Amino acid sequence: MSIWEYANPKKFMQTSSWALPWVTGLAVSAIVVGLIWGFFFTPEAEGFGSTVKILYVHVPAAMMAINIWAMMLVTSLIWLIRRHHVSALAAKAAAPIGLVMTLIALFTGAIWGQPMWGTWWAWDPRLTSFLILFLFYLGYMALWEAIENPDTAADLTGVLCLVGSVFALLSRYAVNFWNQGLHQGASLSLDAEENVSDIYYFPLLISIAGFILLFVALVLLRTRTEIRSRRLRALELRERAA
C-alpha cells in the first residue's frame, strides 16, 4: 500500500467518492463552528472594535492562498517526474480555488484596512506580494485554458509553476526590501499571531482547519470532474474513430 496507488484514476475515483462526503461534512461543520464561535462568542478586541472578527476569514484564506500554490508546486513536480495524470489534474483543479482564496484575503484585508488604517489599499509588502501571487494564479490558469492538448498543457503549466514559485518567493522578499527603502518605519502589517490570546486563538484554529478541509473537498470534487471530462473526451474520440 503506497501513496502512488492513488495515481491510478480508478482507484482515485473509488477512494475520493467514499471520502468526499465525509470531508465535506467535516469542512462545513468546522467552518460553521469556527465562524460562529469567532463571530458571536469572542469579546471585541481593544482598539479594534468588532472589526477583529474579520480575522476568522482573513487569516485562513491568506494561509490557504499560499499553501495552495505550494500544493500545486508539489503536484506539478509529481507530474513532471512520475507522469501521474491525476497529479496534474489536481494542480489544475487547485488553481481557481487558490485564486479565490487570494481574492478573499485581499478583499477582507481591504475591508479590515479601511476602518483600521484609514485606507483600502497600501503598498505594504504583504499586500503587494499577495497581489503578485494573484497575478501568478491568473497566468497559470490562463496558460491551462490556452493550450488544447491536455498533456502539453500539463507540462507547460508545470514548468511555469516551478519558475513561478521561485519568482513569487523572490518577489515576496524583494518587495520587503523595496518598502523599507521607501517608507522607513511606516510598517502597516499586523503581526497579530504573536500577541493573540487564547480566546481568539481556538476559534481561529478551528476556522483554519475548516478552510483546509474545504480546500481538500473542493480539490477532490474538481479533480473528479476533470477526470470525468477527460474520460468523456476519450469516449468521444473513440466514437468518432469508430
Instruction: Determine phi and psi for 196, rounding to 5 degrees.
Output: -75, 135
Nearest to 107 by CA among 124, 130, 125: 130
Give the nearest distance from C-beta 142 to other proteins in angstroms: 6
DSSP state, 62? H
Strand partners, 49: 45
Does 143 bind other proteins (CB under 8 A)? Our answer is yes
CB proximity list for 101: less than 8 A, separation 6 or greater: 61, 62, 64, 65, 68, 211, 215
Does 138 bind other proteins (CB under 8 A)? Our answer is yes
User: What is the size of the binding site for other proteins (CB under 8 A)?
Assistant: 26
For 64, the grid coordinates are: 490557504
**Exactly one of 41, 43, 118, 163 binds other proteins (CB under 8 A); which one?**
163
- Compare residues 147 and 209 and give the one whose CB is closer to other proteins: 147
Does 103 bind other proteins (CB under 8 A)? Our answer is no
Instruction: Determine phi and psi for 45, rounding to 5 degrees.
Output: -75, 150
Does 152 bind other proteins (CB under 8 A)? Our answer is yes
- Give the largest CA-CA distance in the chain: 72
- Compare residues 36 and 174 and give the one whose CB is closer to other proteins: 174
**Exactly one of 19, 70, 81, 142 binds other proteins (CB under 8 A); which one?**
142
> Contact residues for other proteins (CB under 8 A)?
132, 135-136, 138-139, 142-143, 146-147, 152, 155-156, 159-160, 162-164, 167-168, 170-171, 174-175, 177-178, 181
